Amino acid sequence: MFGGGGGNKFEMLKQMKKMRSQVKTMEKELAGLNFVGIAKNKLLSVTLDGKFQMKSIQIEDELIEKKDKKLLEKSIQEAYAKALQDAQAGAAKQMQAMGGFPGLGM
């Protein structure tokens, strides 16, 4: 009933456990990284961690004093897009540094 390929299944389970451990390690390392995106007007910045979670938004008083809603919205979009782009590149680099995930094409 359990003959033949039992060793292969055991090896597969070992590999899955190892990959799960690698994922947890990588998640911890990514959470510790910060990526800052700055709006073109340099009046707003957004900080994301390596898991793409927003950590902070910093708005200069000058931008608030302008009372320009569209400028504020545009600044948030620009800063967030830049931080996200950097975080994605940083996460990819971190995965490569850790050897990626063989068998998953990463």
pLDDT digits (tens, 9 = 90+) for 21-37: 888 888 888 888 999 99
Assess contact for 34 and 84: CB atoms under 8 A: no
Per-residue pLDDT of the chain (106 residues; tens, 9 = 90+): 455 556 788 899 988 998 888 888 888 888 889 999 999 999 999 999 988 999 999 999 999 999 999 999 999 999 999 999 999 998 888 778 777 655 554 4
Show the CA angle centred on residue 27, arms to residues 22 and 29, nearest 5°: 95
Q: Does the reported pTM lie above 0.75?
A: no
Q: Are 46 and 36 in contact (CB under 8 A)?
A: yes
Q: What CA dihedral angle connects 86, 90, 91 and 95, to 10 degrees?
A: 160
* Overall fold of domain 25-96: Ybab; Chain: A; (3.30.1310)
